[in-house]
Structure 1
Amino acid sequence: MNSFWNKVAGAFAALLFLFSFRPAYGGPIVIKMATLAPDGSSWHRVLLEMGEEWKEISGGKVTLRIYPGGVVGDEDAMLRKMRIGQLHAVAITGMGLAFLDRSFYGLHVPMMYTSDEEFDYVRDRLSPLLEERLEEKGYVVLNWGDAGWVYFFARKPFTHPSEMKNMKLFIGAGDEHLTQLYKKAGFRPVPISVVDILPGLQTGLIDAFNATPLAALSFNWFALEHNMAKFKWAPLTGATIIDKRAWKKIPEELRPKILEVSRAASRRLQREIRNLNAEAMKAMVENGLKIKNVSPSVEAEWRKIVEDIHPQIRGKIIPADVFDVVVKYRDEFRR
Structure 2
Amino acid sequence: MKHFFKSVVLCKYYLMGVVALAAITLQSCSSTSDEKVLYFAHSLPTSHPVHKGILAMQEALKENSGGKLQIKIFPDGQLGSEREAIELLQIGSIAMTKVSASALSNFAPEYQIMVIPYLFRDSDHLFRNLEGEVGKQLLESGTEYLLRGICFYDAGARSFYTKDKPVNSPDDLDGLKLRVQNDQMSVDMANTLGASATPMAFGELYTALQQNVVDGAENNIPSFVSSNHFEVCKYYIFDEHTRVPDVVVIGTKFWDSLSDEEKGWLEEAAEESVVKQKQYWHETVEENMKMLKEEGVEFIYPDQEPFIEKSRPIMERLMQNPKLKPMIEKINSN
Match in the other structure for 2:313: 308
Q: Distance in 1 between matches of 2:282 and 2:48?
A: 21
Q: Is the 8 A contact 2:53 2:273 kept in 1?
A: no
Q: 1:211 to 1:101 in 2, by over 3 A?
A: same
Q: Distance in 2 between matches of 1:251 and 1:122?
A: 29
Match in the other structure for 2:210: 202
Match in the other structure for 1:11: none
SS in 1 for 2:250: strand
Q: Kindly state the Cα deviation for residue 76 of structure 1 after the two structures are TM-superposed.
A: 1.8
Match in the other structure for 2:271: 263
Match in the other structure for 2:178: 169
Structure 2 unaligned blocks of 5 or more: 1-23
Q: Kindly state the Cα deviation for residue 69 of structure 1 after the two structures are TM-superposed.
A: 1.4
Q: Kindly state the Cα deviation for residue 130 of structure 1 after the two structures are TM-superposed.
A: 1.1
Match in the other structure for 2:146: 138
- Is the deviation greater in 91-100 or in 176-185? 176-185
- Is the deviation greater in 43-52 or in 198-207? 43-52
Mapping for residues 196-275 of structure 1, pairs under 5 Å: 196-275=204-283
Query: What do you get for the CA RMSD once the two structures are aligned?
Result: 3.0
Match of 1:113 among 113, 120, 130: 120
AA of the residue aligned to 2:126:
F
2:32 aligned with 1:30: no
Q: Is the 8 A contact 2:116 2:185 kept in 1?
A: no
Structure 1 unaligned blocks of 5 or more: 1-19
Match of 2:103 among 90, 96, 114: 96
Q: 1:236 to 1:279 in 2, by over 3 A?
A: farther
Q: Is the 8 A contact 1:70 1:195 kept in 2?
A: no
Mapping for residues 24-63 of structure 1, pairs under 5 Å: 26-27=32-33, 28-38=35-45, 51=58, 54-55=61-62, 57-63=64-70
Match of 2:163 among 132, 155, 165: 155
Match of 1:322 among 301, 321, 324: 324
Q: 1:184 to 1:301 in 2, by over 3 A?
A: closer
Q: Distance in 2 between matches of 1:107 and 1:43?
A: 18
For each residue in 1:8-39, what CA deviation from the matched residue of structure 2 results, as whole angstroms up to 9, or x when unmatched? xxxxxxxxxxxx99555754433222111236
Match of 1:129 among 137, 156, 159: 137
Q: Kindly state the Cα deviation for residue 84 of structure 1 after the two structures are TM-superposed.
A: 1.4
Q: Is the 8 A contact 1:131 1:141 kept in 2?
A: yes
Match of 2:83 among 76, 79, 83: 76
Q: 1:311 to 1:251 in 2, by over 3 A?
A: closer
Q: Distance in 1 between matches of 2:191 and 2:96?
A: 33
Q: Give aligned-pair identity as a percent.
A: 17
Q: Kindly state the Cα deviation for residue 72 of structure 1 after the two structures are TM-superposed.
A: 3.2
Q: 1:54 to 1:266 in 2, by over 3 A?
A: same
Match in the other structure for 1:15: none
For each residue in 1:285-309, what CA deviation from the matched residue of structure 2 results, as whole angstroms up to 9, or x when unmatched? 1211101221x3xx32211221134
Q: Distance in 1 between matches of 2:121 and 2:47?
A: 36
Q: Is the 8 A contact 1:131 1:140 kept in 2?
A: yes
Size of the aligned set, in residue pairs, is 306
Q: Kindly state the Cα deviation for residue 79 of structure 1 after the two structures are TM-superposed.
A: 1.0
Q: Kindly state the Cα deviation for residue 208 of structure 1 after the two structures are TM-superposed.
A: 0.9
Q: Kindly state the Cα deviation for residue 239 of structure 1 after the two structures are TM-superposed.
A: 1.7
- Is the deviation greater in 120-129 or in 207-216? 120-129
SS in 2 for 1:151: strand
Q: 1:190 to 1:44 in 2, by over 3 A?
A: same
Q: Kindly state the Cα deviation for residue 63 of structure 1 after the two structures are TM-superposed.
A: 4.7
Q: 1:264 to 1:64 in 2, by over 3 A?
A: closer
Q: 1:265 to 1:159 in 2, by over 3 A?
A: same
AA of the residue aligned to 2:38:
I
Match in the other structure for 1:179: 187
